[in-house]
Amino acid sequence: MSSSSSSHEDERRAHEFSNLVQEFNQIVQAIGDPDAHPRRRRRKVAKKAYIHRDREAGALRLHTNYFAENPVYLDNVFRRRFRMRRALFLCIVNVVASDPYFQQRTDALGRPGFTPLQKCTVVIRMLANGGAADQYDEYLRIAESTSLECLRRFCRAIIHLFSAEYLRRPTSADCQQLLAMHEAKHGFPGMLGSLDCMHWPWKNCQTAWQDAYTRGD
């Protein structure tokens, strides 16, 4: 009786061992088979093409056109394109140049980078004219990504340097000064902001005449 039971136990163990060996072989074959678990293919990242923009030529052209001793374009053209006087622009450039980002540096290959005039010019022209970031690439030789970075850095620098003096709420004295200035220059007493908010009828503005007619003025 005991001999038969022991033989059955040996057969059961041998059968379990055989099953384990088969499972192990299946696992080994699955791991070794590349088709069973295909490797995830890495996406090929296209290398960004380098464009030799010749930054020095852009800096020289900008200096010759606007900032040389005898510039190509005079003050009236500068004011129209930059929406400010040349002296004010140079003052802003000198102040913003305290930020190391706006200072001219050299890259890893020893080539000179963009000048403060180039960086500030692309920002002011974008803000003044609402142009795209790559609009002045051909003229100033500044890429779109660099123009956007200049814009971000410029706005941060302006807020940091001028917020206490120019980006504050106007005081009562400031409001009185603005009212007096608008009255003396435009002849509209009580004008603090836009003329559109004054509700003055104007023969050349149909909207103003219609508003005045509706109010019964």
pLDDT at 164: 81
Higher-scoring residue by pLDDT: 200, 91: 91
pLDDT one-digit tens code per residue, 139-174: 888 888 889 999 999 999 888 888 887 777 888 888
Asked whether the whole model's pTM tops 0.85, one would answer no
Instruction: Please check whether residue 62 is in contact with residue 78, taking contact to mean a CB–CB distance below 8 angstroms.
Output: no
Residue 217 has pLDDT above 60, yes or no: no
pLDDT at 119: 92
3-class secondary-structure state, position 194: coil
Q: Which domain holds residue 179?
A: 172-215
Residue 120 domain-assigned? yes
Residue 186 domain-assigned? yes
99 in the same domain as 6: no
Mean pLDDT of 95-115: 85
Task: Round to whole Å and give the CA distance between 12 and 6.
Answer: 10
pLDDT at 72: 92
Higher-scoring residue by pLDDT: 184, 216: 184
176 in the same domain as 161: no
66 in the same domain as 100: yes
162 in the same domain as 62: yes
21 in the same domain as 1: yes
User: What DSSP character marks residue 131?
Assistant: -
Angle subtended at Cα 109 by Cα 106 and Cα 111, rounded to the nearest 5 degrees: 45
162 in the same domain as 60: yes
Residue with tokens 């590349």: 34
134 in the same domain as 116: yes
Residue 67 domain-assigned? yes
156 token code pair: 């941060």
64 in the same domain as 9: no
91 in the same domain as 14: no
pLDDT at 140: 85
38 token code pair: 């295909």
208 in the same domain as 116: no
Q: Number of folded domains in the chain?
A: 3
121 in the same domain as 93: yes
